[in-house]
Amino acid sequence: MVKREKSASILSKVIKGFVLVICVILAAFVIVNITLIVKSYANPDEVPDFMGYKPFIVLSGSMEPVILAGDMVLTREVKPEDIKVGDIISFSAEDQIVVTHRVVDIDRSEGLTFITKGDANVGTDAVGVKPEQLEGRYIWRAANMGRFALFIQTPVGMLLFVITPMCLFILYDVIARSIRTRRSERALAAATAQGGGAPETPAGQEAAVSASKEDAGENQSS
C-alpha cells in the first residue's frame, strides 16, 4: 500500500512538472506572438520585434549549408556601424521581403553600403544594403522551426499545439482537485472512526466549556 502511494506521488509530481513546462512554453509563445502582432498593427511599415530580437523564417537555400530552408533565424537589432565583413545580417528588400545574407564587403565611398551575398549563391546581391534597410544581425538559428512555426499557424496546428494542451491542463486541474477532495474526505472519515465520533470544532469546544460553567453554577447555587 505504501509503495503504491509512493509511486502515485512520484507520478503526480512528474505530471505536474510536465504540465508546468508546457504552460511556461505556451505562455512565452503567446506573449511573444501578442507583442509581435500588436507592434505589426501599430507600425505596419516596420518589422515587429520583441525586446530588440526579430525571428524570421527562411524560405530559400541561399545560405546553405549554414542556414537551411525551413529554419528559423533570430536576429538582434544593432547599429549599422557595428556591422563588419563576415557578419550575417537580415535586411528589407523589395516587396517587403526580408533577406538574410552574409556581408562580404562594405562600401564607404558614398555613405555606408553593405555588399551582401548568399553563401550558396555564385555572385553578390545586385543591390547594396543601406543602413535604413538593416533589420538586425544574425545570432542563432533553430533547425526546422520555421516549418513548425508555419504549421502551428494552421487550424490543425492550433488545435494540436495550443487548444489541446490547454484542454489537457484544465482536465488535469479538475482531476487533481477531485483527488485532493477525496483524500481529505477519507482522512476525515479515518479520524472520525479512530476518535469514535466527529472531531470537535472550536465552536463545539466553546459550547462544551459554556455548558460546564453552567453546571458548576447550578451546583454552587444548590
User: For 22-47, what is each residue's pLDDT tens digit?
Assistant: 778 777 877 887 888 788 788 877 77
Residue found under cell 512554453: 25
Give percent of the chain with pLDDT exceeding 90.
36
Whole-angstrom Cα distance, residue 119 to residue 103? Answer: 10
**Contact (Cβ atoms closer than 8 angstroms) between residue 48 and residue 98:** no
**Contact (Cβ atoms closer than 8 angstroms) between residue 100 and residue 76:** no
The predicted pLDDT at position 222 comes to: 47
Residue that wins the pLDDT comparison between 195 and 75: 75
pLDDT grade for 5, boundaries at 50, 70 and 90 = low
Whole-angstrom Cα distance, residue 118 to residue 42? Answer: 32
Residue that wins the pLDDT comparison between 149 and 69: 69
Residues with Cβ < 8 Å from 73, sequence gap 6 or more? Answer: 55, 56, 58, 67, 90, 100, 138, 140, 141, 142
Whole-angstrom Cα distance, residue 216 to residue 220? Answer: 6
H/E element, 87: none
Check whether the bond before 155 is cis (ω within 30° of 0): no
pLDDT digit string, tens, across residues 100-117: 999 999 999 888 999 999
Whole-angstrom Cα distance, residue 104 to residue 66? Answer: 15
